[in-house]
Structure 1
Amino acid sequence: MSLRISRLLAGAGSTPPGLPNFDSTTVFVRAAASALRGEEFPALGMFPSWLIPVAARLNSLPRRARTGIYTTGGANEGVSPDELGNVDVERFRQWVVDQYPDRGYPAVIVGSSNGAAVHLAALLGVPWLPQTFLVPVSRSLPPDAIHADLEWGAEHADPFLAANPDVSLHQMHDPNQDRLMVRKLAYFRTKSRRLGDAYEEFIETVLASDGTIITLECEYDWPAVRIDDRHTYQVGGHGGLDPESYYEGDDAIAEFLEQQGANRDRWYTPDPDERVPEAEWGFEPALGEDIDRLADENGYDVRRLRFDEPHELSPFVADRYRERYAELGRPVDRLFVQSFALVEPWWTLRTGSVPYWTPFNTAPDAAQVDSYLDGVEPYDEIWTTLFAHGVESAGLGSIDRWRSVLSRARDQYGFVGVDETEFPYDIETHVRYHEDLPETIRARYAHPAPMAFDRFDSIAADAAPAAELEWTQHERSAVNDQR
């Protein structure tokens, strides 16, 4: 594998070849593991301390230079297509389990990538093991060349699939929100269909003999083209546009493409032939079957936590934090909204904040926070991070729109680590979200002990249906029950 600058910067903490340092799954694993180690989570877990002061001054560069950093930084993470046959997803899974403290746990969470799951893991004091990983592959194409990207992926995917027979490949191309990155990268998102040796050995080592595996199953799907049995192609991704807009076009897309200087008013896409688990957030059910097998063999319990869209886990987790703080006699009136990868579980607990995760920075994300606030007791304080991706993409939530959400606080509100005049080109926010947090939210509390899993299990059984989630139990096989 070629040497990446990002690998040099991350040092011994870098990811294995083929797994990028800068991706939602990678960041979420590092954040969840840092919480279990009792550590803060600065700079997305990927920048060394000496580089943070430099990264915190990048907004002084012209916007064109900053957008170039997104493109070149992403390209630096790419795997050569000639090396795809050497990418081993099992090494990704081994890297995940190596991040967590090697001690006993009453439960383990396995499944969909989700920022709210990071906070759930921190609340319960248990590991989260993701199903989905991104393999960014180096190639150069115009961002709107969708048919060419599909053909390129079909031509180059076979060595990767042959080397990884236990995964499905959900290739995705988002010319809206990922516009800067897809110029130089093909997005090969993979979903494990089996636990694999690393996850299985980790679970058998750290999970209590009467422990529980929680399967996190986001049933969000997306129209896609089937390339072969384990390879699909998805245009677009969860965010400011619905799936049909990517395939059919609309006024927002026409306006966006005009702003980008594209010689078109819509994207010309292949006709999807089925709906599949969404590439970044959706759950591939085959993994659930393998989890059931492991549970039956070892006598573990299984709880399935199912929800339709990625944001739907957030109110459920926020409510559990509010309940936990109330049990401890602490205030329950401070909401900390955390945007996409800008999560900080250690400081969330340290400041006595209730976490609410948003999948991105879009107008629909803002509307979902509004909807949550409509249904709960008011908050005195509301704060938010705001992920910046360097593009005024269609469906983006403006600073004013986000400020209108924050202003629903009865007392204090504001942004954390956000340069309001530079969003969404605010590249500094990737380090400033953590640097500014202690000064912005001044409350301090001792970190609480993890919530007992038995208590959480009892609460979830009653609370999940009210939150329009499913919390169900896997019935063990008769053979196991007779042991």
Structure 2
Amino acid sequence: MHKVHKGLAAEGAGLAGDRVVAAGSAARVLVAATARALRGLDCADLGHPGPVSRFPGAPEPVRRAAVTRAAGRVALTVAQVDEVDAARVARWFVEQYPRQRYPGVLLGSPHGATAHLAMALGVPWLPAGFEMTVHWTDGAVDRPGAALEHGAALAPRLLAGNADLHLRQVHCPASRGSLAGATVSLAARWRALPAAYAQFLADRLLPGAPVLLLRDVRTWPVLERGAGHDFQMGCPGSGLDPVDFHPDSHALRQVLRSAGGDAARWQPPEVSATAGYAEHGVDSGFELTTRHWAASREHPMHRVLVPRPAALSAAVADLYRGWLRAAGKTGDRLVVECGRLLDPWQVVRAGLVPYWCENATRRAVDEAEWWLAGSEAFSSVDVLPEPPGVRSPALAGLPQWLAVAGFGRRRRALDRTAARGYPVTSVPTRRATEVLRTQPYDLPAPPPLGVDEALAVLRDSGGNQGLLVS
């Protein structure tokens, strides 16, 4: 059983928040990292090595078996689905933050740059949803139709006690590997501002403090299954396109082979797909109720629409460079983070500029290279490539990561621990902390940015990349 940290689990019925929210999921990691940064702490206690990290030379069948066993230890059992309480999850998120008054708040889609933006502003970040994984005992990575049926049986039980949720089931062997055949992944979105969030904002925001809503507006084909439950095969984070999940796709055959499946058995559900926001989108009801709450209490609200992760990553990196230089620092040292490998506190402590890659796909790394090519050169570039734990034709190779580090004029560093066994091993979040702790101190930290100043930079820097700030 996953350990429940004292003081983080709220009182009430149902499972504790840290038992419900998937281990290693984006919302979980980003809340933990942001809350620690606002306390002046790093991420040295976050994450633990996955089982495959201890066997870098293990054969693929052994590796897949180890991954499946590990997933079984942390995923919800089918019986525990009835004990999920989304209200308790919301309380768990807000209770991780220091009890103080804040000059603003960030809400919405998970994105690593939001943790850095929150740190620069001195404000909390709260997700508009969370992810869960549930056992699928007779599952198979190459049976998306069966995965949908299993999820359809779970959805009514989850929604019966959580009418304020919408469930997006994601079956993506390209990003989850063999885990897609051992568990089902459910991305839960709140359809309204949770009561715990509303109370937190009422108690902790300074008068007139702005509310910023960040929305991931990437789209993906979605299969409507029933009230409150829909399904998507693949995801934008896989680095593949929707067409790549067709049975005749060469990329799909490669993915399934590495995950222990067979493309000949891949049969998509017989349901027509329509375009919709992908799994990290924000429910329209969440935005409407947040806007109503803010207006009724005279808190200005702004939206930041993110068409692709790199647009926000580049804008926040540019923001940090200007913020550091305004405080008399060089703003000349870059760290390229990836996935869960980030540490907002250590970045500020060392006076670094952070650029976050959503994952280790070629698409994400290409965009980091394009941004670097168009930016003023950095004296040093440190690169933290998170091994995804799976094989896929969409992944960037180590030479491409080395090319990113090569943009540094004097220092060019690729973390060897993360690179060892790449791409199929795993490293914990705290590995980023271990690497960044070796950077020289550059204190004191700059004074917090004002929200209006930050929005102006995001408009100016992100506008040509499609970032929309309103």
Alignment TM-score, normalising by the size of structure 1 = 0.89
Equivalent residue number for residue 146 of structure 2:
148
Question: Which residue of structure 2 lines up, in the alignment, with residue 129 of structure 1?
Answer: 126
Per the TM alignment, residue 11 of structure 1 is displaced from its structure 2 partner at its CA by 6.4
Q: Structure 1: which 5+ runs fail to align? A: 473-483
Cα shift readout 1:248-285 (whole Å, capped 9, x = no counterpart): 64323333434555432684323542122211x22222
1:18 equivalent to 2:14? Answer no
Q: Percent identity?
A: 26
Candidates 34, 37, 52, aligned match of 1:35: 37
- Of stretches 128-137 and 76-85 in structure 1, the one that deviates more from structure 2 is 76-85
Q: Please, which of 32, 48, 62 is the counterpart of residue 58 of structure 2?
A: 62
Q: How far apart, CA to CA, are the structure 1 residues paired with 2:47 and 2:238?
A: 24
Separation of aligned partners in 2, 1:99 and 1:418: 30
- 8 A contact 1:249–1:267 mirrored in 2: no
Match of 1:447 in 2: 445
Task: Determine the structure 1 residue equivalent to 2:276.
Answer: 276
Say whether residues 1:87 and 2:84 are aligned partners.
yes
| Contact in 2 for aligned 1:324/1:451 (Cα 8 Å) | yes
Following superposition, the deviation at residue 20 of structure 1 comes to: 2.5
Q: Report the counterpart of residue 192 of structure 1 in structure 2.
A: 190
Q: Is the 8 A contact 1:36 1:125 kept in 2?
A: yes
One-letter identity of the residue aligned with 2:324 = Y
Shift of residue 335 of structure 1? Answer: 1.4
Q: Indicate if the aligned counterparts of 1:108 and 1:213 stay in contact, CA closer than 8 A.
A: yes
Q: In structure 2, do the counterparts of structure 1 residues 285 and 404 end up closer, same or farther at CA, with 3 Å as the change threshold?
A: same
Q: TM-score, normalised by structure 2?
A: 0.91
**Are residue 235 (structure 1) and residue 237 (structure 2) matched?**
no
TM-superposed deviation, 1:62 = 3.2
1:394 CA drift (Å): 2.7
> Does structure 1 retain, via aligned residues, the 8 Å contact 2:360–2:388?
no
Change (3 A) 1:259 1:471: closer
Contact 1:417–1:436 (Cα < 8 Å) also in 2 = no
Q: Which residue does 1:178 correspond to in 2?
A: 176
Identify the residue that residue 399 of structure 2 maps to in structure 1.
400
Deviates further, 306-315 or 99-108:
306-315
Decide whether aligned partners of structure 1 residues 136 and 291 sit closer, same or farther in structure 2, where only a CA change above 3 A counts.
same
CA contact 1:223–1:274 (8 Å) conserved in 2: yes
**Deviation string, structure 1 residues 373-423 (Cα, Å, up to 9, x no partner):** 122111221112121232212311111121122212222112236343411
Which whole-Å CA distance do the structure 2 matches of 1:267 and 1:311 have between them?
Answer: 32
Structure 1 Cα separation of the partners of residues 59 and 34 of structure 2: 33
By how many angstroms is 1:246 displaced? 1.4
- 2:142/2:262 contact within 8 Å kept: no
Q: What SS does the aligned partner of 1:80 have?
A: coil
- 2:44 touches 2:434 (CA, 8 Å); kept in 1? yes
Separation of aligned partners in 2, 1:127 and 1:185 = 31
Partner of 1:409: 408
For 1:114, the equivalent position in structure 2 comes to: 111
Query: Which residue identity does 2:268 align to in structure 1?
Result: T
Secondary structure of the 1:164 match is coil
Cα distance between partner residues in 2 of 1:469 and 1:460 = 8
Corresponding residue number in structure 1 for 2:205: 207
Kept in 2, the 8 Å contact 1:42–1:431? The answer is: yes
Specify which of 72, 75, 82 is matched with residue 78 of structure 1: 75
Query: What residue is the counterpart of 2:12 in the other structure?
Result: none
Q: Determine if contact 2:220/2:242 at 8 Å carries over to the other structure.
A: yes
- Corresponding residue number in structure 2 for 1:481: none
Query: Match of 1:475?
Result: none
How many residues were matched structurally? 459
Give yes or no for the alignment of 1:219 onto 2:217.
yes
Q: Is this contact kept in 2: 1:167–1:230, CA < 8 A?
A: yes
Mapping 1:233-272, distance limit 5 Å = 233-237=231-235, 238-247=237-246, 249-260=248-259, 262-264=261-263, 267-270=266-269, 271-272=271-272
- How far apart in 1 are the matches of 2:242 and 2:6? 39
SS in 2 for 1:187: strand
- Compute the RMSD of aligned alpha carbons: 2.4
| Secondary structure at the counterpart of residue 434 of structure 1 | helix
The question of 1:7 aligning with 2:13 is answered no
Q: Comparing 355-364 with 262-271, which one deviates more in the overlay? A: 262-271
CA contact (8 A) 2:104 2:209 kept: yes
CA 1:46 to 1:429, structure 2 compared with 1: closer, same or farther past 3 Å?
A: closer
**Alpha-carbon spacing, 1:258–1:452, altered in 2? closer, same or farther (3 Å):** closer
